[in-house]
C-alpha cells in the first residue's frame, strides 16, 4: 500500500442484537473449561509443600526441608519434583495441535468434551497414585485435557459474544481459571490439616469435580454460527445467529460470516497458510503474547505460592493461607478486568498492569534481598512478611486485570476464520511450552538467581510493555470478521497487508487515502 488507511477503523460495524440470556448462560458453561486449568495451577504448588506427599514421593526434598540450616532459596531445588508440575504443560502443548483439528472438523464443543474426559481420568490416576510414574502419567492426561480446553474455550467465547461485549464474556474464561486457583488453594489449606497424611490424595482427586462440570456442560452447549458455517450447515448457522443475537435483523452479520467462511473453505492447509505475509501481525501476536505472559513471572507465584511463601520464612499453614489471600486478590482483580475491558480497551489495561507489575517485582526483590541476601539464611518477622504479601498481592492484581485475561482474549479474537483453530493452537502451544519451561526451571532459578529472580522478571515486563505500546492496536468493539481493518490501519502492520487481501462482507474494501488510521 502506498499510504492511507481504512474507512471506519474506529470500531467496525455495530451489528444489531443484544446480550441474550441464552448467550450469557452458554458462555458461563463454556468458560467453566477454565476451572480445570486453574485448579491444576493452584493445586500443584500446595501439594508439593505437604510433608506426607514429599515423604512418599520425593524423600530427598523432604529430608532437605527438615534441615534447620538449609539455604532458603534452594531447599525445593529438585528436577523430579519440578517434572511433576511441568509434565502437564508439555502434554498440553502437544495436545493443542490435535485439538486444532478436532475443533475445526467436529466443532468447538467436542474439543471441550475431550478435554473434560481426559482430565477426569488424569485426576483419578493422580488421586490413587502409588509411585512417581503414576503421578507423571496422571499429570500427562491432565495436560491433554488442558490442551483441548484452552484451545477451544476462548475461541468459542469470542465467536458467541456480541462484538461490543466480547472482552467481558471472553474474560469469563480467565475468571474461571482464577476461581479454580482459589478453590484449589482453599482445598489445600483444609486437606493439609488431615492428620492421617492423605490430604494430598484428596486435593489431587478433587480435580475430578471441575472436569465433570465441563464434561457435562459441553454436552449441552450449542455450536457457534462460525463453526456451523465452517462445517457446511448454513441454515443451522442462520438460526443459531438469530437465537444468540435475539433479533431477526442478522443480515449484515450473517453476510460477513458467510464471506469469512467461504474464504476459509478455500484454505486447504491452514498451518501452511498462517505463515503467509498477510497474517504476519496475527502470527506475531499469537507467539509473543503467550511468550510474554509466562515471563511476567506469574507462574512463579501461582504454581509455587505455598512453596515460595514457605521459602520466604512462613510456616507451613501460614504459607498456604498467604497463597489463599493471593488467590482471592486474583479473582477480584479479574472481575475488575471484566467490567473495564470493553470500556477502556485492551491496550490501556496491558500498559497499566505492566507498570504496576514492574514496581511490585522490584520492591519484592529488594525486600527479600534485605532479609536473606545471597546466603539464603535468615528469619522474616511477621510485620515484614505482611509487607511482602501486600506487594505480591498488588503484583497479582496487576496481572489479573491485564496480562492474565488479555493473554487469552486478544489472540482468540484477532484471527480470521480460515486460520483461527491453527492460530489458537499456536497461542496455546507457545503458552504451554513456556509454562513448562518456567515450571521446570523455577526452583532451580530461585536457588541460583536468589532475590535477583524478581529483577529478572521485572526486566521482561519492561520489554513486553514497550512491545504492546508499539505493536498492538486496540481491538475493542471490532467484529471478528472485520479485524483485518485494525491491522491494515496500524502504522507498522499495514505494510504486510495488500489492498486485495482485505475482504469485508465479501467485497474488496474501498480505501480512503485521506482518513487517518486507528491509533497504533
Distances (CA, A) of 210 to 31, 123, 126, 403: 11, 10, 15, 24
Has residue 520 been placed in a domain? no
Distance CA 395, CA 517 (A): 34
Has residue 8 been placed in a domain? no
Tell me what pLDDT residue 209 has. Answer: 93
Has residue 249 been placed in a domain? no
Tell me what pLDDT residue 15 has. Answer: 64
Smallest CA-to-CA distance from 103 within 248, 270, 350 is with: 270
Distances (CA, A) of 149 to 108, 156, 157, 172, 371: 9, 10, 12, 14, 42
Tell me what pLDDT residue 504 has. Answer: 61
Has residue 206 been placed in a domain? yes
H-helix or E-strand spanning residue 6: strand 5-6
Has residue 474 been placed in a domain? yes
Tell me what pLDDT residue 312 has. Answer: 60
Has residue 497 been placed in a domain? yes
Radius of gyration of the chain (CA): 23
Contacts of 459 (CB under 8 A, 6+ apart): none
DSSP code string of 60-124 = HHHHHHH-TT--TTTTT--HHHHHHHHHHHHHHHHHHHHHHHHHHHT-HHHHHHHHHHHHHHHHH
Angle formed by the axes of helices 132-160 and 420-449, nearest 10°: 130
Distance CA 117, CA 199 (A): 24
Angle formed by the axes of helices 403-414 and 132-160, nearest 10°: 60
Contact 418, 104 (CB under 8 A): no
Tell me what pLDDT residue 517 has. Answer: 36
The CA-based angle 416-252-155, given to 5 degrees, is 30
Tell me what pLDDT residue 507 has. Answer: 46
Helices (H), 106-231: 108-127, 132-160, 166-191, 199-205, 208-220, 225-230
Domain range for 73: 21-223+267-505
Domain count, the chain: 1
Strand partners, 504: 507
- The CATH number given to whatever domain includes residue 282 is 1.20.1250.20
H-helix or E-strand spanning residue 306: helix 298-311
Has residue 499 been placed in a domain? yes
Tell me what pLDDT residue 362 has. Answer: 93
Tell me what pLDDT residue 518 has. Answer: 37
Strand partners, 5: 512
Going residue by residue through the chain (520 aa), what tens digit of pLDDT does each one get? 333 333 333 344 556 566 788 888 888 888 888 888 888 887 877 787 788 888 888 788 777 767 655 555 566 666 777 777 778 888 988 888 888 888 878 888 888 899 999 999 999 999 998 998 898 899 899 999 988 988 888 888 888 888 788 888 888 888 998 899 889 888 988 888 888 888 889 999 999 999 999 899 888 888 888 888 888 888 888 888 888 888 787 778 788 788 777 776 666 666 778 888 999 999 999 999 999 998 998 866 765 566 566 666 666 566 667 777 888 898 999 999 989 998 999 999 999 999 999 999 999 889 888 877 666 565 666 777 778 888 988 999 999 999 989 998 898 888 887 787 788 888 888 888 888 887 777 767 777 777 788 899 999 999 999 999 999 999 988 887 788 899 999 999 999 998 887 766 544 444 333 333 333 3
Contact 87, 139 (CB under 8 A): yes
Has residue 361 been placed in a domain? yes
Strand partners, 507: 504
Output DSSP code: residue 417: G
Distance CA 143, CA 93 (A): 8
Contact 480, 413 (CB under 8 A): yes
pTM: 0.76
Cα 5 from chain centroid?
A: 33
Amino acid at each position: 500500500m502506498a499510504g492511507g488507511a481504512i474507512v471506519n477503523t474506529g470500531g467496525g460495524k455495530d451489528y444489531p442484537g443484544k446480550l441474550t440470556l441464552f448467550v450469557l448462560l452458554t458462555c458461563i458453561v463454556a468458560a467453566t473449561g477454565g476451572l480445570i486449568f486453574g485448579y491444576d495451577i493452584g493445586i500443584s504448588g500446595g501439594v508439593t509443600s505437604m510433608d506426607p506427599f514429599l515423604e512418599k514421593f520425593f524423600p530427598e526434598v523432604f529430608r532437605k526441608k527438615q534441615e534447620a540450616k538449609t539455604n532458603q532459596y534452594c531447599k525445593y531445588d529438585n528436577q523430579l519434583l519440578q517434572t511433576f508440575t511441568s509434565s502437564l504443560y508439555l502434554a498440553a502443548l502437544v495436545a493443542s495441535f490435535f485439538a486444532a483439528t478436532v475443533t475445526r472438523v467436529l466443532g468447538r464443543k467436542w474439543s471441550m468434551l475431550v478435554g473434560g474426559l481426559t482430565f477426569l481420568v488424569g485426576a483419578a490416576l493422580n488421586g490413587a497414585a502409588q509411585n512417581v510414574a503414576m503421578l507423571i502419567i496422571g499429570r500427562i492426561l491432565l495436560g491433554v485435557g488442558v490442551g483441548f480446553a484452552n484451545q477451544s474455550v476462548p475461541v468459542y467465547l469470542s465467536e458467541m459474544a456480541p462484538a461490543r461485549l466480547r472482552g467481558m464474556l471472553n474474560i469469563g474464561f480467565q475468571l474461571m481459571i482464577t476461581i479454580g486457583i482459589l478453590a484449589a488453594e482453599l482445598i489445600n489449606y483444609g486437606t493439609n490439616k488431615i492428620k492421617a497424611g492423605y490430604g494430598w490424595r484428596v486435593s489431587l482427586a478433587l480435580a475430578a469435580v471441575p472436569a465433570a462440570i465441563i464434561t457435562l456442560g459441553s454436552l449441552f452447549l450449542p455450536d457457534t454460527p462460525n463453526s456451523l458455517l465452517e462445517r457446511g450447515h448454513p441454515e443451522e448457522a442462520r438460526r443459531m445467529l438469530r437465537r444468540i443475537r435475539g433479533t431477526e435483523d442478522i443480515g449484515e452479520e450473517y453476510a460477513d460470516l458467510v464471506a469469512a467462511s467461504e474464504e476459509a473453505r478455500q484454505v486447504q492447509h491452514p498451518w501452511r497458510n498462517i505463515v503467509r505475509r498477510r497474517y504476519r501481525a496475527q502470527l506475531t501476536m499469537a507467539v509473543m503474547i503467550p511468550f510474554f505472559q509466562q515471563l511476567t513471572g506469574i507462574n512463579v507465584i501461582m504454581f509455587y505460592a505455598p512453596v515460595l511463601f514457605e521459602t520466604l520464612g512462613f510456616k507451613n499453614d501460614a504459607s498456604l493461607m498467604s497463597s489463599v489471600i493471593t488467590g482471592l486478590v486474583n479473582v477480584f482483580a479479574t472481575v475488575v478486568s471484566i467490567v473495564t475491558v470493553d470500556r477502556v480497551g485492551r491496550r490501556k489495561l496491558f500498559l497499566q498492569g505492566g507498570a504496576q507489575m514492574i514496581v511490585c517485582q522490584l520492591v519484592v526483590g529488594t525486600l527479600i534481598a534485605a532479609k536473606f541476601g545471597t546466603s539464603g539464611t535468615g528469619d522474616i518477622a511477621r510485620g515484614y512478611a505482611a509487607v511482602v504479601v501486600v506487594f505480591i498481592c498488588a503484583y497479582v492484581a496487576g496481572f489479573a486485570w491485564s496480562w492474565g485475561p488479555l493473554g487469552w482474549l486478544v489472540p482468540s479474537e484477532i484471527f480470521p476464520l480460515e486460520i483461527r483453530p491453527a492460530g489458537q493452537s499456536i497461542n496455546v502451544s507457545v503458552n504451554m511450552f513456556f509454562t513448562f519451561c518456567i515450571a521446570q526451571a523455577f526452583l532451580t532459578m530461585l536457588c541460583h538467581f536468589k532475590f535477583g529472580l524478581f529483577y529478572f522478571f521485572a526486566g521482561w515486563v519492561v520489554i513486553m510493555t514497550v512491545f504492546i505500546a508499539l505493536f498492538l492496536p486496540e481491538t475493542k468493539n471490532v467484529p471478528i470478521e472485520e479485524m483485518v481493518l485494525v491491522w491494515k490501519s496500524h502504522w507498522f502492520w499495514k505494510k504486510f497487508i495488500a489492498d486485495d487481501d482485505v475482504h469485508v462482507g465479501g467485497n474488496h474494501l474501498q480505501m480512503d487515502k485521506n482518513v487517518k488510521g486507528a491509533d497504533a
